[in-house]
Chain A
Amino acid sequence: GAGVSQSPSNKVTEKGKDVELRCDPISGHTALYWYRQRLGQGLEFLIYFQGNSAPDKSGLPSDRFSAERTGESVSTLTIQRTQQEDSAVYLCASSLSLAGVGTGELFFGEGSRLTVL
């Protein structure tokens, strides 16, 4: 498709299980971002990737969170040993370059809603 695609759209898991969320950015977009939105909160920055440069992981809340991206393709966000406070909507966005943040030319997916029981 033409937009940012995320899967699964909904995921329910038990506390302590690992989950993997996938983001397929717009073709040609070198920058990719992950955000999360917990209930009643604003979007929180988690991590961004820019081409083959080292990612900015400064927003990852704990070492249970990790993300990978190979080149300019798909990214996966992995949460190990999930906790109830991890319940949130996880949003992925992509842009042609990091400059897209300053120009507002970010394209968001619909998000993956994670519920940890």
Chain B
Amino acid sequence: GDSVTQMEGPVTLSEEACLTINCTYTATGYPSLFWYVQYPGEGLQLLLKATKADDKGSNKGFEATYRKETTSFHLEKGSVQVSDSAVYFCALTPSGAGSYQLTFGKGTKLSVIP
């Protein structure tokens, strides 16, 4: 079945440091790929998405590129802020009609210190 593997946390960075959270997936066809974020005390929310190979999703300074050849969707940010402290989840949904289930990674907790 489909699966998502993301780097183990927790990750602790100083403010303005570069961030990369690795995510790789196993799925048939061309799934849609997502990064969700959960800030403290809030529900998960969509951060960015990519629906086909070579697409780049971006939001709030975060980027991730859909790499079919390496089955990866790594999350990157050039300069993190304290407000980016949260848990980040990589997820996919299969291609094709009738695919209404998201498969999530285990989540990576990021802490940014001033």
Contacts and interface: CB of A to CB of B under 8 A. Distances in A.
B103 to A, nearest CB: 8
Contact of B45 (A48, A108, A111): A108
A18 interface: no
Nearest to A103: B49
Given A40-B106, A42-B107, A102-B32, A59 B101 contact: yes
Interface string A15-28: 00000000000000
Contacts of B89: 42-43
A43 B102 contact: yes
A104 B34 contact: yes
Interface in B1-59: 4, 32, 34, 36, 38, 41-46, 49, 51
Contacts of A107: 43, 45
Contact of A45 (B42, B46, B101): B101
A98 B98 CA distance: 9
A54 B101 CA distance: 15
A4 B107 CA distance: 21
A3 interface: yes
B7 to A, nearest CB: 13
B102 A106 contact: yes
Task: Point out which of B38, B44, B107 has the most chain A C-beta atoms below 10 A from its C-beta.
Answer: B44
Nearest to A45: B101
A56 interface: yes
B70 interface: no
B93 A101 contact: yes
A41 to B, nearest CB: 6
A45 B104 CA distance: 9
Given A101-B93, A102-B93, A104-B34, A110 B105 contact: no
Interface of A: 3-4, 31, 35, 37, 40-43, 45, 48, 50, 56, 59, 91, 93, 98, 101-111
Given A31-B100, A42-B104, 6 more contacts: A43-B104, A101-B101, A104-B34, A106-B46, A106-B102, A109-B43
The 10 lowest CB-CB distance pairs between A and B, nearest first, are: A108-B43, A43-B104, A108-B44, A104-B46, A42-B104, A42-B106, A104-B49, A45-B101, A98-B100, A101-B100
